Amino acid sequence: MSYKIKFDKFFSYSFSLDCVIFGYIDGKINVLLIKRAMEPYMEEWAIPGDLVYPDENLQNAADRILTELTQLKGVELHQGQTFGEPDRHPQGRVITNAYFALVKAQEVKAEADSWAEEVRWVPLREVPKLAFDHNKILDSTFNLLQQKLQREPICFDMLPEKFTLNEMQQIYEYAFDTKMDKANFRKKIKPMPIVNLQEKQQNVKHRPANLFKFDPDKYNSIVEKENFLFRM
């Protein structure tokens, strides 16, 4: 078999990973961004990402990159889509894979480190133009998040341990850019093992709402025994 380039040229590309971290803050789904303190795209906002070392496996590289740039540790990162347009990086051919995670934003503390000058949570619909093709990567990963929200109870990964039903509804309304009827929404989530804690919100200016907690063990039991399918 003959190739149109020398065979050793196939081993001259670089590989990178970009970590898309979603969190829920004040009724909106946010994404964690960094301001770059190095070229290319100096002083521009980007998804936390970097090159993979030759001796690293991808999962270890994703964990390292996220920690080095944001100081976040122990985040459960999942592999997403690959992006490989030949001109996506101005310094040469770099193929990248997007990893993503959902975190409880109020319970983690992200701090800029390494060549990240600043780190900031930004609502998804307020994200500026990003470095490289990161807007494309973010749009694609958000689309994946929307799909998973419709068939998996992953919203609880972004909600605080104790949450209100209104906060849960806000995640879906923001994700799908729509206003949901309160009664219909609560009818949809009724089969879910959401425990009423018999507690109220504290230190709020409005009428305190009831607090709830998701029971993952009971959910897994229902799925296993009753073939329950989560649908929104």
pLDDT for res 228: 64
Q: How far apart are CA 79 and CA 73, in angstroms?
A: 17
Q: What are phi and psi of 102, to 5 degrees?
A: -115, 130
Q: How many CB atoms lie within 10 A of CB 78?
A: 15
pLDDT for res 231: 75
pLDDT for res 202: 87
pLDDT for res 229: 67
Q: Determine which helix (DSSP H) or strand (DSSP E) holds 187, and give its type and residue range.
A: helix 182-188
C-beta of residue 134 within 8 angstroms of C-beta of residue 36:
no
Architecture, CATH, for domain 154-226: Orthogonal Bundle (1.10)
pLDDT for res 206: 83
Eight-class DSSP state of 59: H
pLDDT for res 7: 85
Instruction: Report the DSSP pairing between strands 94-103 and 14-25.
Output: parallel
From start to end of 109-174, where are the E strands?
116-123
Q: Which of 217, 175, 212, 174 is nearest to 190 (CA)?
A: 212
Crossing angle of helices 134-151 and 165-175, in 10° steps, is 130
Question: Which residues, other chains included, contact 46 with Cβ-Cβ below 8 Å and sequence gap of 6+?
Answer: 33, 34, 35, 36, 130, 131, 132, 134
pLDDT for res 132: 98
Query: Which residue ranges make up each domain of the chain?
Result: 9-151, 154-226
Integer CA distances (angstroms), 173 to 53, 124, 168, 180, 207, in order: 40, 13, 9, 6, 21
pLDDT for res 227: 67
pLDDT for res 63: 98
Integer CA distances (angstroms), 178 to 163, 173, 217, in order: 21, 5, 31
Question: What is the third-level CATH fold of 9-151?
Answer: Nucleoside Triphosphate Pyrophosphohydrolase (3.90.79)
Eight-class DSSP state of 17: E
pLDDT for res 207: 87
Q: What is the pTM of this model?
A: 0.94
Mean pLDDT by 10 residues, the chain (232 residues): 85 95 98 97 98 97 98 97 96 97 97 98 98 98 96 95 97 97 94 94 87 94 74 75
Q: How distant is the alpha carbon of residue 209 from its chain centre? A: 27
Q: Catalytic residue numbers?
A: 118
